[in-house]
């Protein structure tokens, strides 16, 4: 593996950031984009890319880490200050989807390299927050489910992955997916469909 030439740390950091930004755009455009393609698009030589990322899988893993962090930030921002569990869940899922939609092709690609288990492990902090929210809703009677909160959180997580795959496969329009996924999550937590739909419509109109 080529070693990265030492030099100005700020330039190295700027190169790394540019490579990541360009790699995300290139992989979303062409999931099979090679390291050579990414290097050309970033305006650097192949050796520079490998100096930061020893393999294509390592590059995708780093992008996945950034995507998961963006999801965690969106989750917190979406539900902060909201006390009603159903509204907090709706706002959280809508915020998560808005971020996930940007990365959904990357996440599909990462499942071939990072593995689903690896993505699931990265999502542990987001899932822990969701479990606490679901537990609160179950205790308050806002949610009803035969599943305990940790299992219900897994169902919700897999629902979002499934909706992403449905969009990627052309079975659902991307612009409809966020609201549809949120209603689905709410109804799976025991919220009546009519109430879930009305809540999502209200929350979407007043973000």
DSSP H or E segment with residue 106 = helix 85-113
Helix or strand or coil: residue 42? helix
pLDDT of residue 206: 76
Q: Is the pLDDT of residue 106 over 50?
A: yes
DSSP H or E segment with residue 182 = helix 174-188
CA 179 to chain centre: 16
| pLDDT tens, position by position, 74-98 | 998 989 999 999 999 999 999 989 8
Q: Is the pLDDT of residue 117 over 70?
A: no
Helix then strand count (H, E) for the chain reads 10, 0
- Per-residue pLDDT averaged across 41-60, rounded? 90
Q: Is the pLDDT of residue 115 over 70?
A: no
Helix or strand or coil: residue 207? coil
**Maximal CA-CA distance, the chain:** 60
Q: Is the pLDDT of residue 6 over 50?
A: no
Helix or strand or coil: residue 30? coil
CA distances from 76 to 14, 103, 127, 193, 196 (A): 28, 18, 12, 25, 21
| pLDDT tens, position by position, 151-202 | 999 999 889 888 988 998 899 998 899 999 999 999 999 999 999 999 999 9
Residue 101 near residue 47, CB atoms below 8 Å: no
Report the range of poorest mean pLDDT among 113-122, 135-144, 174-183: 113-122
Residue 92 near residue 79, CB atoms below 8 Å: yes
Neighbouring residues of 129: CB distance < 8 A, sequence distance ≥ 6: 75, 76
């Amino acid at each position: 593996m080529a070693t990265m030439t030492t030099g100005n740390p700020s330039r190295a950091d700027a190169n790394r950031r540019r490579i990541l930004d360009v790699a995300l755009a290139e992989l979303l455009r062409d999931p099979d984009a090679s390291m050579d393609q990414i290097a050309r698009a970033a305006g650097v030589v192949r050796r520079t890319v490998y100096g930061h990322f020893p393999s294509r899988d390592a590059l995708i893993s780093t992008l996945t880490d950034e995507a998961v962090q963006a999801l965690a930030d969106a989750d917190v921002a979406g539900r902060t200050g909201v006390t009603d569990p159903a509204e907090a869940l709706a706002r959280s899922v809508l915020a998560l989807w808005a971020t996930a939609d940007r990365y959904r092709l990357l996440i599909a690609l990462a499942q071939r390299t990072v593995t689903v288990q690896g993505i699931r492990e990265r999502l542990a902090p987001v899932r822990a927050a969701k479990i606490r929210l679901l537990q609160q809703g179950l205790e308050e009677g806002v949610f009803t489910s035969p599943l305990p909160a940790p299992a219900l959180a897994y169902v919700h997580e897999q629902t979002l992955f499934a909706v992403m795959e449905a969009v990627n496969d052309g079975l659902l329009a991307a612009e409809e997916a966020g609201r549809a996924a949120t209603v689905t999550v709410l109804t799976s937590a025991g919220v009546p469909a009519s109430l879930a739909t009305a809540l999502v419509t209200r929350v979407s109109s007043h973000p």
